[in-house]
Amino acid sequence: MKSRTSKVILTFVLALALAVPFVTLSRNVSADSFFGAIFTTIGDGTTVNLNVYDSKDVVFLNGGPQNQNSQGLPDGTYYYQVTDPSGATLLSSDCAECRQVAVIGGVISGATGPACQHANGTLNPATGSTAVKLMPFNDTPNNGGEYKVWLIRQTSTTSIDPNDCRVINFKGGDVKTDNFRVKKTECTDCINTETALSGRKFYDANANGVDNAEPGVGGVKIDITITTDQGPTTVTVTTQPDGSWTLGGVPVGATYLVCEELPFTCPSDGVGSYWVQTSPVPDSQGSQCYSGIAGTDPINGLDFGDICFHPGSCGLTLGFWSNKNGQAILKAHDTDWRNCINSLCLVNANGSPFKVSTTDSFDKAYGAFRTWLLNGNAVNMAYMLSVQLISTKFDTTYGCLSRSQLVDARSLGLGIVSIASIIDAAKADLCNVSGGGNITFTGNPLRQDEEIIKNALDAINNNRLAFASSSPCSVCYPTQ
The strand pair at 52-53 and 175-182 is best described as: parallel
Q: Are the C-beta atoms of residues 471 and 215 closer than 8 Å to each other?
A: yes
Whole-angstrom Cα distance, residue 426 to residue 57? 63
Per-residue burial over 179-213, b if 16 or more Cβ lie within 10 Å, else e, is: bbbbeeeeeeeeeeebbbbbbbbbbbbbbeeebee
- Closest Cα to residue 430, out of 382, 391, 389? 382
Q: What are phi and psi of 140, to 5 degrees?
A: -75, 145
Q: How would you write the pLDDT of the chain (480 residues) with one tens digit per residue?
A: 333 322 222 222 222 222 333 332 323 333 445 778 899 999 888 887 678 998 888 899 998 875 545 678 999 999 999 999 999 899 998 889 889 999 998 999 999 987 677 888 888 888 889 999 998 898 888 888 999 999 999 999 999 998 888 999 998 889 999 999 998 765 555 566 888 999 999 999 999 999 888 999 999 999 999 998 888 999 999 999 999 999 988 999 999 999 999 999 999 888 999 999 999 988 888 889 999 999 988 999 999 999 999 999 999 999 999 999 999 999 999 999 999 999 999 999 999 999 999 999 999 999 999 999 999 999 999 999 999 999 999 999 999 999 999 999 999 999 999 999 999 999 999 998 877 778 999 999 899 999 999 999 999 999 999 999 999 999 999 874
CATH architecture entry for 194-306: Sandwich (2.60)
Torsion sign (Cα): 354, 356, 357, 358: negative
Which residues are 132's β-sheet partners? 61, 120
- Closest Cα to residue 475, out of 198, 284, 305, 266? 266
Domain boundaries, the chain: 38-182, 194-306, 318-464
What predicted TM-score, i.e. pTM, was given to this entire model? 0.63
